[in-house]
Structure 1
Amino acid sequence: MNGLHLTADLARCARAALLTDAPGLAGQAREAVASAGLTVVGEHWHRFPAAADGSPGGITGMLLL
């Protein structure tokens, strides 16, 4: 397969609250794509369930360019 694949692991992120805010994280990702002059043609986001201690679950997502 030819092409460029970029991944980001945001563990221990300086803006940790963003990691449980799906709309906020998606918006930041879309802004980064747009600022690079690229076009999003599809995306998928998944929120993980809350932990047993009640803390919010994380988010995983992807943008197809």
Structure 2
Amino acid sequence: MGDSRLGGISPTISSFEPLFRGYIIDAILLFRGEYYRNFKCLTQYFAERGMCVIVLDPPMP
């Protein structure tokens, strides 16, 4: 699960890298945060690495 808030790109990638070395990761889940749009950058990053990326609408308030 990726972080859609400010500063969320680096922690998402940093968390993924060590997990990828020891676990099978089937998909990356991201919330569609329209303000920062981290999902756009992260979708491209993970797609380049052959990962399935699923972008979900954020939960209701």
Same fold at TM > 0.5:
no
Which structure has the higher relative contact order (CA within 8 Å, separation 6+)? 2
Higher strand share: 1
Higher helix share: 2
Give the TM-score range, shorter chain. 0.3 to 0.5
Larger radius of gyration: 1
Q: Normalising by the residue count of structure 1, what TM-score does the alignment of the two structures yield?
A: 0.32
